Structure 1
Amino acid sequence: MSNPSSLPRLVLASGSAYRAELLRRLRLPFVAQAPDIDESALPGEAPEQTALRLAQAKAQHLAAQFPDSLIIGSDQVATLHGQRLSKPGAHAAALAQLQFMRGQTVQFHTALCLLDTRCAPAHVQAENITVTVRMRNLPDAELDAYLHLEQPYDCAGSAKNEGLGIALIEEIDNRDPSALTGLPLIALCSMLRARGMPFFGLDV
């Protein structure tokens, strides 16, 4: 059995409560810290490139602060018809976003980076996972009622698929189910295993 004190230190480079909740599913001890970086897209940058660059930047921003660690960075960019969908922040913006999305297919580009600072230079693994979501064509009254009930104003796309927002979705095409929520756990487990992280309390 693994001694928790002997596990590689795991760091989540994020202030997202959603990503922290997902990471807790693996039952591995970790610390979370939000990196202070500019998350703006670069001119001419494709959405998936933005997500991948920011996921790596988040992890690398904490590298000096967390030596001898495995640092997780992740970022997500949602797009529809070439337009990026930001976090709405308030009810009116969220309703407008859901109206724009209804009956449409939205792409969520979720990037993941694992930075191993136990070696020099640090070892980097990164991957981008695209999730395709088909939204139901629902009337304004249902969209408005949903928003009042769940208030997902801090979510790009204005819906929590892990909650009541699943009722707004007609179809999800996704090889890594947690990627839509913001942290692809299947891909992350593969990366962690490749760097020697034990699971289920067993040594590897």
Structure 2
Amino acid sequence: MRNNKRKLEDIKEEFHKEFTNATKTINRLINEFLEGKLNKGELQEVINSEKKCDRLKEEYIEQLFKKKRALPFIVEDRYEMILKLDVVIDSIEIVARYLGIYPFAMIEEIKKDFSTLNKLLLDTIIALIECSRLIETDFKQARDKTMEIEDLRRDAFNLKFELLEHLFELEKEKDPKRILLTTELIKQMYSVIGRSEELADYLEGLIIKYPNK
């Protein structure tokens, strides 16, 4: 049984660490997938991390409402933060589960760009987790991270459409089912980045709401 006196910051930091582990694991496994070396059984590590984060989210919320205070923010702000973090890791789990049932090797012609999208996903989540930490102590640095996330999302947005355009050009030469499922995988990857920017926008809103931190 967990200690009822666990501090909110300790629970959140454990959440951050598990979130980071899931992100680095999916990044590694996608790279192995591109190399044709993926062990699909290892995708369970990402799913397990999401489950741990879900339990930590529940513990965080329970402690949050017991304490009734959450300086420098109000309780409702912290509640929204942890829920939005949970949405992002849920979307990473979806990528892992989708990759687990994806029945093809990656199409050779888009491997390089797909690898770049994978790197953008990793960089976005690492920046998001750092922003979530910094917002507790340094609003200026936290805002810099929100701007970095916005730039990464913009790059990913452009790359997504480059990938899709290339895929559709290959449609006559490739199995339509393969094109369709690969399109969905690209969209799921981008969804993680898009949801991360949504949280970054929310955190930027808190910086505006509490300007003196």
> TM-score, normalized by length of structure 2?
0.30
Larger relative helix fraction: 2
